[in-house]
Amino acid sequence: MGENRAYDWIEKSLATIEKAGWYRSVKTIDSAPGAVIDLEGESLINFASNDYLGLAGDERLIQAATEAIHEYGTGSTGSRLLSGHRPLHRDLERAIAQLKQTEDALVFSSGYLANLGSITALVGGRDLILADQYNHSSLKKGATLTGGNVINYNHCDVADLEEKLSCNRACYRRCLILTDSVFSMDGDLCPLPDILDLAETYQAMVLIDEAHATGVMGSHGAGCVEHFGCRDRALIQMGTLSKALGSLGGYIAGSSTLIDFLRNRAPSWIYTTGLSPGDTAAALEAINIIRQEPQRRQQLWDNIGFLKQALADYSLLPSESPILCLGLDNPHQALQLSQHLQAHGIFAPAVRPPTVPFSRIRFSVMATHQQQHLQQAVEAIRTQKSITNMKSIN
């Protein structure tokens, strides 16, 4: 038998990734989620989690999930269309629609799948997509999968979006504007009211990704759409159950016509197994808690305010969310600072190209961070000499 060398390229490709300094590996956390975690034998204050409200380790979510597993089992056993769903699935969708004040909602098995499925259902090869250049991977991949013409506009640049709409819109059947609401690697917000105005003028649909905003932004935690007072405008809201809601899964919220259409046309919903009963029940409980305990969100914003103030002298990227980034000159500096922080008890990852255009340390603030946790992070940053002169970066 001959030798099959068809796989050799994988090793070479991996070596190239390593040489470029882009190689990444996973760290093991040996504790429950929370403000303090056990990372490979070290106890660290956690600034690397999307669990903004501290719900992923909450006893009430654990209990809701456990009860659902006892009643309905661990698996959903098949696609909801083919195998049926549990009452919990619709309960969760109604709770999301109520939080978002939309007619209906549809729960997917992850946020990534919600974006892939809805974008490919809404847009085809004859259509136009306009996308913020810093959009999340799931929006970018979803756009590519449609086979339509995808044009990126400059980050949060309404004038650039308008120019691209005016030059291109008329040549296409449908048009979809795609944007993160809170940008996941920067922490700034999209200019939603302006985007919606342009969408009206140019007869375009808008899909906004509220992954980092759900439970966090807006006076009821409904997201940036609430924050900007745009709940009455026509748009498609996507979000995840796996960040502030402490569970797993994603959703689309919008008109009942839209949701009914997606149930019939979104391949990543139709051809995948329904969300597990445990995850579904945990997310439902999280929405109840978000409704009943606005003080959690208030604590989160107090913590964000404190950290922003304490780091005002450093090169913080503009942010209006729990995501605070310290900009650095190069990947090497970012890695060095991340290691320095870890040596001082702080877990905050370096984010480097190609994920982002320039290197940074990314802090995710949680409602369950205590004052002493935030203080310790500030002290650790202050003791790293090489970044005290980083103010000039912005």
Ligand X SMILES: *Cc1c(COP(=O)(O)O)cnc(C)c1O
Site for ligand X in 144-183 (CB under 6 A): 180
Task: Report which secondary-structure segment, H or E, holds 205.
Answer: strand 205-209
The answer to whether 46 and 341 have CB atoms below 8 angstroms apart is no
Q: Note whether 360 binds ligand X by CB under 6 A.
A: no
Q: Note whether 212 binds ligand X by CB under 6 A.
A: yes
The answer to whether 117 and 108 have CB atoms below 8 angstroms apart is yes
- Minimum Å distance from CB 393 to ligand X? 24
Q: Is the peptide bond before 322 cis (omega within 30 degrees of 0)?
A: no
Residue from 46, 49, 102, 110 touching ligand X (CB under 6 A): that is 110
Q: Note whether 226 binds ligand X by CB under 6 A.
A: no
- Rounded to 5 degrees, what angle do the CA atoms 120, 123, 126 make? 130
Measured between alpha carbons, how far is residue 322 from residues 48, 55, 182, 283, 318 in Å?
11, 15, 9, 20, 11
Which amino acid makes up residue 319?
S
Residue from 34, 187, 250, 322 touching ligand X (CB under 6 A): that is 250
Report the SS3 class of residue 391. helix
Q: Note whether 118 binds ligand X by CB under 6 A.
A: no
- Minimum Å distance from CB 242 to ligand X? 4
**Which of residues 113 and 326 has its CB atom nearest to ligand X in the complex?**
113
Binding segment for ligand X among 35-43, 96-104, 209-217, 224-232 (CB under 6 A)?
209-217
Quote the CA–CA distance of 69 and 305 in Å, as a whole number: 39
Token code pair at residue 332 = 């090497």
- Minimum Å distance from CB 209 to ligand X? 5
Binding segment for ligand X among 107-115, 158-166, 328-336, 350-358 (CB under 6 A)?
107-115
The answer to whether 363 and 348 have CB atoms below 8 angstroms apart is yes
Residue from 120, 179, 184, 338 touching ligand X (CB under 6 A): that is 184
The answer to whether 46 and 348 have CB atoms below 8 angstroms apart is no
Quote the CA–CA distance of 252 and 255 in Å, as a whole number: 10
Q: Note whether 244 binds ligand X by CB under 6 A.
A: no
- Minimum Å distance from CB 150 to ligand X? 17
Residue from 136, 140, 296, 297 touching ligand X (CB under 6 A): that is 136
Q: Note whether 296 binds ligand X by CB under 6 A.
A: no
Q: Note whether 209 binds ligand X by CB under 6 A.
A: yes
Binding region for ligand X (CB under 6 A): 110-112, 115, 136, 138, 180, 184, 209, 211-212, 240, 242, 250
